[in-house]
Amino acid sequence: MNTDNQHIPEILSLKDLEKFYHLSPSTIKRERYEQKLIKQNKMKPEEARNLNGFGYKVDCIEMYRKLYFKRSDVEAFINEHLKPAPAKVVNE
């Protein structure tokens, strides 16, 4: 994750997510598509690859047929999924 927060925009496109946070745009789009199929009862939740993925959990802003995400939502998702380093776990 990029630590220089002053250069990260508040509204992020899929390309920005890939550039700053190394999240794959194709995975996000696939997860959103799977979520849509599940809501339409065309797919069972058990058939989805990862129900805890970014595309399922984070709401987007749709403008001009493109997806944008709030930086605060992205960083909250990442912080929620962080795990402590193994050295910290062993020492505690």
Q: What is the pLDDT of residues 22-78, one digit of tens each?
A: 999 999 999 999 999 989 999 888 888 878 889 888 999 999 999 999 999 999 999
* Average pLDDT for 76-87: 84
Q: Looking up tokens 């995975």, which residue turns up? A: 27
* Average pLDDT for 1-24: 84
User: What are φ and ψ of residue 69, in 5° steps?
Assistant: -130, 145
Domain count, the chain: 1
| Assigned domain for 83 exists | yes
Select from 48, 79, 60, 77 the least CA-distant residue to 12.
60
- Which residues constitute the domain of residue 40? 11-91
Q: Looking up tokens 């987007």, which residue turns up? A: 60
Whole-model pTM: value is 0.77
| Assigned domain for 45 exists | yes
Strand partners of residue 63? 66
| Assigned domain for 2 exists | no
Question: Are 69 and 61 a contacting pair, CB within 8 Å?
Answer: yes
Select from 48, 58, 79 the least CA-distant residue to 14.
58
